[in-house]
Structure 1
């Protein structure tokens, strides 16, 4: 299936597809819009209803998109958020510490639509997000997935990804963390570009 998956930047022109992947069914609902791990906590808490939509639209309107979208045919089936670590709250985390001073990019969310899970979409998203970071000058890209050792991960916490998917995309574990998601420890995985 992964050969049928196309990965494209989440630009303003594709904002309707971004909304399908990270927006609520009710436009005024206070849901994440994949902003909770992108914005400082205070700013995130202050955004209400459609302000969240507007904040994501502003991110998608920048020269560098806030992530990538996965398509099968013309249907959007997945999302991966990726950005320079220095721009994200994880840069200030006390539980996920920097490995070194390299200005890495971070993949902070991977989401696949129901009906398309278990078909290789997350693998395509991780590889596509890494490639997007590389083409935008990243010397390396990191992620902070759970090390679930093959055990089932609760879908509400699966957005951080699982270690095996990243390793299949050429990432290597470079550090442990004090962070936990869904009862599993999170690790730092990294793919460095030549």
Structure 2
């Protein structure tokens, strides 16, 4: 998907070391990644944040929040109406849950739009 320019990726570095990744692009790029119930609740042209991966020793240092801020800034510049994330209801950190917790999106000014099957659509209108 990266090679076909279908998705946008963001990398965070500490010097020459890659310490984080965020996968975010137009909601239409993510067939199979964005929950169907989220697609039924869109509010115009939307960027979807579908996953984060932060190196364990760099977690809790604001990298994911910096990613969200950058995604929102880029989306606004490109004329998008909103940015969405698809958080799990659990606040427990799970190394296999790459979508980010609700509290992360709340810190970035996102609000809950809808929820279903243990997942919440969090949205920030730009």
Residue aligned with 1:145, SS = strand
1:161 aligns with 2:100: yes
CA distance in 1, matches of 2:95, 2:33: 25
Partner residue, 1:25: none
Q: What are the within-5 Å matches in structure 2 for residues 62-73 of structure 1?
A: 62=5, 66-73=8-15
Please provide the CA RMSD for this pair. 2.3
Higher strand share: 2
Per-residue Cα deviation, 1:21-71 (whole angstroms, up to 9, x for no partner): xxxxxxxxxxxxxxxxxxxxxxxxxxxxxxxxxx53x14xx4x86121223
Q: What are the within-5 Å matches in structure 2 for residues 1-194 of structure 1?
A: 55-56=1-2, 58-59=3-4, 62=5, 66-90=8-32, 93-148=35-90, 150=91, 152-157=92-97, 159-178=98-117, 185-193=118-126
Q: With the length of structure 1 as denominator, give the TM-score of the two structures.
A: 0.57
Aligned 8 A contact 2:43 2:81 in 1: no
Question: Which sections of structure 1, spanning at least 5 residues, go unmatched?
Answer: 1-54, 179-184
Aligned 8 A contact 1:81 1:129 in 2: no
Partner residue, 1:38: none
Shift of 1:96: 3.8
CA distance in 2, matches of 1:85, 1:65: 9
CA distance in 1, matches of 2:62, 2:27: 26
Residue aligned with 2:48, SS = strand
Q: With the length of structure 2 as denominator, give the TM-score of the two structures.
A: 0.84
Question: Which sections of structure 2, spanning at least 5 residues, go unmatched?
Answer: none
Worse-matched range after superposition: 92-101 or 80-89: 92-101
Aligned 8 A contact 1:97 1:177 in 2: no
